[in-house]
C-alpha cells in the first residue's frame, strides 16, 4: 500500500502540539491519526511512537533494527536540532534543482549544529552529503578537491559516532561514489546501508543513481520508484524517475513522472528543463519546448538560450544570456562559463571581434580550475578549453584538449554523463570540419544507453553544431540511418528573429 504521512506542529508556551495522520495515497482515504502534546525539552521521542502506531495501523511489523533506529534520538540539544532542520531545508532545495547555492547555504548550518552538539552523527552525515553534492556539481566556486576530502572526513566522523546508523553508512558510500567514481563498490556499499534500514528512501534512491551510471536503466527506474513509494511527496525523486525513463528511451512514461514532480513542487526547475528537453528530443518541436521553459529563473532562461541556439537565433541568444548574473552558481561547469558561451554565440553570429577577447579572457581561468577538479568532471573543463582554443584558431591545441576529454570519458565508463560528453566532443571535431573524427564518435554516442536524457537522433537535423559537416557523405549516411527521427520542422541555417525575446 502506498501511503502519505502528513503532520502539523503548533506551539503553545513551552508545549508543542503535533498532529499526525496517515493517508492511502491511491484512494486519499484516512488510515490513522493521532495528536501528541510534548514539552519543548521532550519532543524527540515522537518519531518512534508514530512509527510504532503506523506499523500497527498497516498491520506491519518493524524489525528490531528498525525499532532501535526509530527510538534513537539524533540530539538532545534543541538549538542544534533547529539548526539541523534549517540545513535540511536548504539541502532539500539543492536536491530539487541541483542548486549549489542551496547546498552551500546548508553547509554552515550543519556545522553550527555540530558546534552545539559535537556528537550529532546525523548532522555530520548530512553535512558530508551536502559537501559531496557541491563538489559533484562543480564546486560553485569552491575548491572541489578540498570539498571532496572534507566530505570524506565528515562521513568518517559520522560513522565513528554512529556505526550502526544507515545515514552514516550512506554518507561514506556517497563520498566513495562522488569522490572515487567506483560505481561497483558504491552499489555494494549502498546495499549494505539497506541491510541496516531496508526501506530507507535515500539509500534506495542512491542505488538507483549508481545503476543508471552503470547503464542498468530498468533496474535504476525500479530502485527510484521504490524510493518514491517510501517518500511519495518527494518532487526530486519523481523527476529523477522521469529523467531515468528518458535515459532508457521510455518516453511514454516521462511526461507522467515529470508532471507528478511539478504537481508536488511547481518550482522544480530540473523537472521543467527536462520536460522541455523531452519534447525537443522526442519530436524536435522547438516551439512546444520553448513554451514549457517560460519563467524568470536562471535555469529556465538558460534553457531558452539553448533553444534560441538550436534555431540559429544567435543574436537573440546573446541578449538573453547577457542578462544573467555571472556567478559560479548560475554557470556551473556543466554549462561552461558565461564568457565561453557568449564567445561561442558571437563566433556563430560571425562577430569574431567580440568573440576573440572573450575566449582570451576565459581560457586562463578555466586552466586554473583544472587542478581543483577530478574524475569525469575534468571532461567539462577540457571541453571548455578546447572550445576556447578552437575559437582562437589554435586548432592543434584544441584537438589535443578534445582528445584529453575523450580519454577521461573512455576510462570512467559513465553511462549517464559519458554519451553526452562524447556527443560534445564530436561537435568540437565538427567545428574544425573533421568529419573523420566527428561522425564515428557521434554515431557511438547515439548508440549508447543513456544518451536520450541529454541528446537524441532528432538533433541531427536541428543542432547547428553539425552545419560544418552537414554535407559530408559520412554525416549524410548518419542522417539516413536515423531517417525515421527527422522532425517535421527543421530550423533554417542563418534564420533570425526580428526582436529579442523578453
pLDDT of residue 424: 97
Q: Which long-range contacts (CB under 8 A, 24 or more apart) does 203-207 make?
A: 203/166, 203/170, 204/230, 205/237, 205/240, 206/170, 206/173, 206/174, 206/177
pLDDT of residue 145: 87
Grid cell 525500479 in the structure block, residue: 222
List of the chain residues with pLDDT < 70: 1-72, 179-181, 333-335, 493-502
Does this model's pTM top 0.75?
yes
pLDDT of residue 215: 87
What residues does each domain of the chain span?
Answer: 3-71, 78-263, 313-485
- 6, β-bridge pairs: 21
313-485 domain in CATH 1.25.40?
yes
User: Does residue 59 sit in helix, strand or coil?
Assistant: coil
Q: Is the dihedral of CA 468, 471, 474, 475 positive or negative?
A: positive
Asked if 170 and 201 touch (Cβ cutoff 8 Å), the reply is no
pLDDT of residue 499: 34
Q: What's the DSSP call for residue 3?
A: E
Task: Pinpoint the alpha helices (H) of 162-268.
Answer: 166-180, 183-196, 201-213, 217-230, 235-247, 251-264
pLDDT of residue 332: 77
CATH architecture of 78-263: Alpha Horseshoe (1.25)
Alpha-carbon torsion angle 280, 283, 287, 288, nearest 10: -80
pLDDT of residue 183: 76
Amino acid at each position: 500500500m502506498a501511503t502519505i504521512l502528513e503532520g502539523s506542529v503548533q506551539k503553545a508556551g513551552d508545549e508543542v502540539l503535533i498532529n499526525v495522520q496517515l493517508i492511502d495515497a491511491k484512494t486519499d482515504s484516512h488510515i490513522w491519526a493521532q495528536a501528541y502534546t510534548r514539552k519543548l525539552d521532550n519532543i524527540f521521542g515522537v518519531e518512534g511512537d508514530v512509527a510504532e502506531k503506523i506499523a500497527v495501523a498497516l498491520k506491519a511489523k518493524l524489525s528490531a533494527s528498525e525499532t532501535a533506529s526509530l527510538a534513537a534520538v539524533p540530539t538532545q540539544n534543541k538549538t542544534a536540532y533547529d539548526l539541523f532542520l534549517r540545513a535540511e531545508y536548504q539541502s532539500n532545495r539543492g536536491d530539487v534543482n541541483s542548486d549549489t547555492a542551496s547546498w552551500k547555504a546548508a553547509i554552515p548550518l550543519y556545522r553550527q549544529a555540530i558546534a552545539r552538539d559535537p556528537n550529532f552523527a546525523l548532522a555530520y552525515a548530512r553535512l558530508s552529503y551536502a559537501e559531496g553534492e557541491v563538489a559533484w556539481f562543480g564546486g560553485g566556486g569552491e575548491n572541489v578537491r578540498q570539498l571532496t576530502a572534507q566530505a570524506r572526513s565528515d562521513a568518517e566522523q559520522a560513522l565513528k559516532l554512529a556505526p550502526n546508523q544507515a545515514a552514516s553508512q550512506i554518507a561514506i558510500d556517497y563520498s566513495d561514489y562522488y569522490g572515487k567514481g567506483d560505481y561497483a563498490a558504491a552499489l555494494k556499499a549502498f546495499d549494505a546501508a539497506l541491510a541496516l534500514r531496508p526501506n530507507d528512501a535515500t539509500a534506495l534512491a542512491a542505488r538507483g543513481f549508481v545503476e543508471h551510471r552503470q547503464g542498468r536503466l530498468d533496474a535504476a527506474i525500479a530502485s527510484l520508484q521504490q524510493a518514491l513509494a517510501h517518500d511519495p511527496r518527494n518532487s526530486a525523486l519523481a523527476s529523477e524517475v522521469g529523467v531515468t525513463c528518458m535515459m532508457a528511451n521510455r518516453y511514454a512514461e516521462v511526461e507522467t513522472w515529470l508532471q507528478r514532480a511539478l504537481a508536488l513542487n511547481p518550482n522544480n526547475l530540473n523537472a521543467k528543463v527536462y520536460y522541455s528537453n523531452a519534447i525537443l528530443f522526442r519530436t524536435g518541436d522547438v516551439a512546444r519546448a520553448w513554451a514549457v521553459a517560460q519563467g524568470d529563473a536562471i535555469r529556465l532562461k538558460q534553457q531558452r538560450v539553448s533553444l534560441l541556439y538550436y534555431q540559429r537565433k544567435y543574436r537573440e541568444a546573446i541578449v538573453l544570456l547577457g542578462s544573467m548574473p555571472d556567478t559560479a552558481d548560475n554557470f556551473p561547469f556543466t554549462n561552461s562559463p558565461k564568457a565561453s558561451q557568449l564567445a561561442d554565440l558571437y563566433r556563430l553570429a560571425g562577430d569574431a571581434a567580440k568573440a576573440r577577447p572573450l575566449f582570451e579572457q576565459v581560457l586562463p581561468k578555466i586552466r586554473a580550475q583544472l587542478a581543483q577538479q577530478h574524475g569525469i568532471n575534468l571532461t567539462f573543463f577540457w571541453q571548455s578549453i578546447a572550445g576556447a582554443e578552437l575559437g582562437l584558431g589554435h586548432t592543434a591545441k584544441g584537438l589535443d584538449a578534445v582528445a584529453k576529454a575523450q580519454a577521461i570519458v573512455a576510462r570512467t565508463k559513465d553511462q549517464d554523463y559519458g554519451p553526452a560528453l562524447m556527443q560534445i566532443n564530436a561537435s568540437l571535431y565538427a567545428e574544425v570540419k573533421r568529419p573523420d573524427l566527428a561522425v564515428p564518435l557521434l554515431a557511438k554516442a547515439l548508440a549508447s544507453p543513456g544518451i536520450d536524457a541529454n541528446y537524441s537522433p532528432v538533433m541531427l537535423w536541428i543542432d547547428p553544431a553539425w552545419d560544418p559537416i552537414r554535407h559530408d557523405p559520412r554525416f549524410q549516411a548518419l542522417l539516413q540511418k536515423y531517417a525515421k527521427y527527422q522532425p517535421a520542422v527543421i530550423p533554417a541555417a542563418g534564420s533570425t528573429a526580428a526582436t529579442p525575446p523578453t
